[in-house]
């Protein structure tokens, strides 16, 4: 039951920080002139690279925190603040460096022949928000294999959804449009805000500042 709850929290967090519909719309814009076969390869490569980046941070995140002397309470508090800032941008449908590319990055990507690694894999899919989320969620699992598996399954599910939406980018663009994407983004932004505040509360309580 605990694993299921953690999986739902992880899924909501990853869906909000990665934003599969947004990724699909950017993918459609960047690869609109590519032949279908090349678009498919770009989408698969971007997803695999992003998965590798997030898996790396999931593996080294906790040891790195221990080496730097950063407590889990501090990570939860900082992670809560970071996710709350991202959630606010999502609710108000604003571009955020944590979940999207900057204007300079977009300009560079428009002239690139291979957009799978940059900007698709990073910073769009494996951006600061997703990286921070995976480190925080894996740390919260506290080494429990079942909990780690729940987080990994949630991440894999969101990445699979992201890949599917990229492969169907044209249809997604016609079906949802900008308004539809913003509606979905706002809903997950509200959920992410609540989760971020909970992370923040847990971190402050665990720190013993008010204890």
Q: Give the model's pLDDT for residue 11.
A: 96
Q: Give the model's pLDDT for residue 82.
A: 86
Cβ atoms of 133 and 6 within 8 Å: the answer is no
Q: Give the model's pLDDT for residue 155.
A: 97
In sequence order, the 6+-apart residues with CB closer than 8 A to the CB of 137 are 6, 9, 10, 13, 151
CB atoms within 10 A of CB 103: 8
Q: What are the chain's domains?
A: 2-203 (1.20.1250)
Q: Give the model's pLDDT for residue 135.
A: 93
Residue from 42, 2, 3 nearest 153 by CA: 3
Q: Give the model's pLDDT for residue 171.
A: 79
Distance CA 182, CA 92 (A): 9
Residue from 76, 202, 50 nearest 138 by CA: 76
Cβ atoms of 16 and 90 within 8 Å: the answer is yes
Tell me the per-residue pLDDT of 83-94, one tens digit each, with 9 for 90 and over.
Answer: 888 888 888 877
Compute mean pLDDT per 10 residues along the chain, 211 residues long, and list them.
87 93 85 86 96 95 86 85 86 65 55 79 88 91 92 97 91 74 81 87 82 57
Residue from 144, 188, 161, 184 nearest 6 by CA: 144
Q: Give the model's pLDDT for residue 10.
A: 95
């Amino acid at each position: 039951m605990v694993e299921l709850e953690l999986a739902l929290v992880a899924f909501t967090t990853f869906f909000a920080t990665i934003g599969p519909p947004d990724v699909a719309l950017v993918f459609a814009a960047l690869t609109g002139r590519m032949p279908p076969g090349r678009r498919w390869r770009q989408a698969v490569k971007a997803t695999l690279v992003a998965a590798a980046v997030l898996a790396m941070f999931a593996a080294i995140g906790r040891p790195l925190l221990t080496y730097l002397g950063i407590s889990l309470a501090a990570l939860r508090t900082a992670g809560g603040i970071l996710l709350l800032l991202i959630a606010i941008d999502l609710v108000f449908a604003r571009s955020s460096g944590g979940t999207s590319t900057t204007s300079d990055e977009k300009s560079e990507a428009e002239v690139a022949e291979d957009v799978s690694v940059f900007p698709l894999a990073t910073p769009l899919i494996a951006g600061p928000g997703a990286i921070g989320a995976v480190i925080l969620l894996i740390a919260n699992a506290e080494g429990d294999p079942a909990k780690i598996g729940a987080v990994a399954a949630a991440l894999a599910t969101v990445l699979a959804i992201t890949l599917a939406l990229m492969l169907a980018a044209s249809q997604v663009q016609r079906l949802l449009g900008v308004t539809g994407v913003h509606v979905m983004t706002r809903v997950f932004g509200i959920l992410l805000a609540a989760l971020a505040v909970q992370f923040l509360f847990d971190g402050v309580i665990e720190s013993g500042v008010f204890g």
